[in-house]
Amino acid sequence: MLADDVVVLLDGTDLTARVGLALELITVDGDGWPRVALLSAGEVLAAQDAVLRLALWPGSRTTANLERTARAVLAFVHAGAAHRVGLRARRDPDVLVAGEPRAVFDARVVSVRRDEVPYARLCSGITYELAEPDGVLARWRATIEALR
C-alpha cells in the first residue's frame, strides 16, 4: 500500500504545487529492454492507497508495453527518499482530454519500496518547468477528472 504522504502527493489536488514533479514509468519492451516514460502529476491519480490510475498516449511504446506485460514500476523522489512502486495494470476505456485520446490504465500496487538513509536526504529527482503553465494545468485538471 502507498504511504499516506504519497497518496496525498498523487491525489490530483493542488496540481499547481505539483508542477515540476516527474515520475518515471518503467516498462519492458518486446525485446526485454527497460523503457522509461516521464509522467507528470497530471497523468497519475492515486484513486486509493493500493490503486493508481494512469493516463498515457494511446500509440506510445509505454502503452503497448503495459498492455502486453501488465507490469510496470513507477519511480520518483519525494520527501527525501526514492520511491519505487510495482504495478499490475489493466487497460480501461480511453478518455478524451481536450479533444485528444488518452489510454487509461487501472494499476494495482503490488509492491512499494522507499529507499532512504539516515546520513543523506534526496533533494530532488527529475524536475522541469512548464513553458505554458495555464494551458498545461487546465489539461492536467481535465485528465485527472477523466481518471476519477
Domain of residue 56 covers: 4-147
Report the predicted TM-score, pTM, of the whole model to 2 decimal places. 0.94
- The string of pLDDT tens digits covering residues 84-120 is 999 999 999 999 999 999 999 999 999 999 999 999 9
- Residue 99 CB contacts under 8 Å (≥ 6 apart), including other chains: none
Which is nearest to 45 in space by CA: 57, 37, 53?
53
* Averaged pLDDT, 42-58: 97
- Cβ-count burial of 50 within 10 angstroms (0-12 exposed, 13-18 middle, 19+ buried)? middle
pLDDT interval class at 71 (50, 70, 90): very high
Supply the mean pLDDT for the chain. Answer: 97
CATH number at 66 reads: 2.30.110.10
Query: What is the Cα–Cα distance from 71 to 90, expressed in whole angstroms?
Result: 9
User: What's the pLDDT score for residue 101?
Assistant: 97
Number of structural domains the chain divides into: 1
